[in-house]
Structure 1
């Protein structure tokens, strides 16, 4: 990690977090929140989790990873659920009917299908 300059970023080519001088942050909390954000980016380095840090769509995805990791698991599951619902609404899939919806289930003793109509 290097302090100085006027920007905050993670530099994958140098595997370094760059932060402005400590005095530019309005509180210790702001400094640590910014550092955590960049540290999560650094976890994607090729020597660690090897996420695509190249930019463009990969950058948008990386920012999503960072922001979601700041949230609780409950928020993460809600976001994933909302995304799935939106995808299903826009482009519904027509999967094969699962056995529990067809009215036919296998019995434990025989393993044979038993109709429940």
Structure 2
């Protein structure tokens, strides 16, 4: 039964890939890094550069009557802009992407004279029984910490951190996030020994990108087993689509990643190769 669900999820994922957006997934609402002035969440690589909090530029802080505390160092926020440049060979004007950055400060910790604008609304959800059962099935799972603002798996200490259930508008997205990090953890050398986890890789390189595909497809498969895939598959496909474009949109890669994801999902579910 699980194998059929895996196949259905993979096929649906491929169908939805054209809807792909940038490859960062943050379905929780509470604790994200936001611009203090407009409360918009930072996107892209900035979600990894900034800890949870409210950030503003030196100019925004000064104009609002606040000041940066003495000795505080700013945080870098990066963005892309386009530079028009004439191609010497063709004579045509081309748009060249240029990476720029600016500096921000966290207003609650690094500044004085400013008040938080954040509405830390939380959400009351009942646990989803089948998803909780899958969570319990993972026999040698790493320890899980529930802290607002960031989700990650740390191979060196074999620990997982995810925002708690109350931080999500949709409870299904909490379980998809939890399953994503659990799939990452199956790559530990004492479990499935997957290179994307066991080897030192750089953010965004091919090995890292493939590991992200495996984790999100595996999470989608587990959501399928839990019966909550209809609520998470669109976001999963968008996330996978972003990473797939980094890998030259080779559709064969998703099939290969799906194979690794199935092994990870089976491991979490306690299904041995003979049983699969």
TM-score of the two chains, using structure 1 as the length reference? 0.55
After TM superposition, the structure 1 stretch with the greater mean CA deviation from structure 2, 53-62 or 39-48, is 53-62
RMSD of aligned residue pairs (Cα, Å): 2.4
Count, aligned residues: 76
- Please show how residues 89-108 of structure 1 align to structure 2 within 5 Å: none
Q: 2:252 aligns with which of 83, 86, 90?
A: 83
**1:46-61 equivalence runs, <5 A:** 46-52=189-195, 53=197, 54-56=200-202, 57-61=206-210
| 1:65 is aligned to 2:214 | yes
Structure with greater strand percent: 2
Flag the structure with more relative contact order, 1 or 2, with Cα contacts below 8 A and sequence separation at least 6: 2
Structure 1 residues 32, 68: closer, same or farther in 2, change over 3 A?
Answer: closer
SS in 1 for 2:214: helix
1:31 and 2:200 aligned = no
Q: Which runs of 5+ in 1 are unaligned?
A: 73-80, 85-117
- Tell me the SS of whatever aligns to 2:208: helix
Matched residue SS, 1:17 = strand
Partner deviation per Cα, 1:13-42 (whole Å, 9 max, x = no partner) = 111110123321112211111101111101
Distance 1:10 1:36 in 2: 11
Report the Cα offset of residue 67 of structure 1. Answer: 2.9
What is the TM-score normalised by the length of structure 2? Answer: 0.25
- Deviation of 1:55 after TM superposition, in Å, equals 2.8
The answer to whether the Cα contact below 8 Å between 2:186 and 2:192 also exists between their aligned partners in 1 is yes
Cα 1:5–1:13 change in 2 (3 A) is farther
- The answer for unaligned runs of 5 or more in structure 2 is 1-143, 225-249, 254-276
SS in 2 for 1:38: helix
State the secondary structure of the residue aligned to 1:7.
Answer: coil
Q: Give, in whole Å, the separation in 2 of the partners of 1:68 and 1:3.
A: 23
Change beyond 3 A, Cα 1:22–1:68: closer
Aligned with residue 8 of structure 1, among 145, 151, 161 = 151
Q: Quick check: 2:187–2:193 contact (8 Å CA) kept in 1?
A: yes
